[in-house]
Amino acid sequence: MRPSVSLAVSLLAIAVPSWTQEPAESEPAAASLSSKARIAPAEEPGDPLVISGQVFDAAGIHPVPDIVVYAYHTDIKGLYTPSGAARPPRLRGWARTDSEGRYEFQTIRPAPYPGDGPPAHVHFYLSGPGHPRQEAEELVFVGDPKISTEMAERSRRAGRFGGVRPITRGADGVWRCTFDMRLRAN
């Protein structure tokens, strides 16, 4: 006997959380957002991290202003919430790209999920005028031992828009990573 479609969809929704499952009122108005934002509070335990980059059009040529960039990730224990639930994530933030498509998030370096699972990563979603909400590539950091060969190869083929990005630690102890993203064609 085959499982019912509704059961499969329910299990998928549990296993692969979606930003659209969060209440709409949790998203701030785009006009209130700056190109620089904070995901983790300044007092959050963990190594400080700054993620910055630009959002480009589908061709990857022109920077796009006024795109809302929503990002979230795990804490230093690899959890989205203290209870271990995936939603809503505790460490999340919104920024709006400036006139050159730039954004920046101050946060902490996330940890991978406890046990086996994917490498430490940051989720991104993009939306804006003429661009419905869309999931962007996940940001993963070069050197993470959990990066698969397939993941590394897919990122290499995507070039500057690949999800596996170098991360460097400055003399000030802050990790920095540049992550450029490309909108999908409508």
User: pLDDT for 50-64, tens place per residue?
Assistant: 999 999 999 999 999
**Left, alpha or beta for 111 (phi > 0: left; psi -120 to 50: alpha)?**
beta
- Domain encompassing residue 68: 5-182
pLDDT at residue 105 in the model: 98
CA dist list (Å): 130 to 6, 53, 58, 110, 121: 32, 21, 12, 31, 28
Could you tell me the pTM of the whole model? 0.85
CATH of residue 19's domain is: 2.60.130.10
CA 144/CA 140 separation, integer angstroms: 8
User: pLDDT for 65-103, tens place per residue?
Assistant: 999 999 999 999 999 998 877 788 999 999 999 999 999
Question: Total domain count for the chain?
Answer: 1
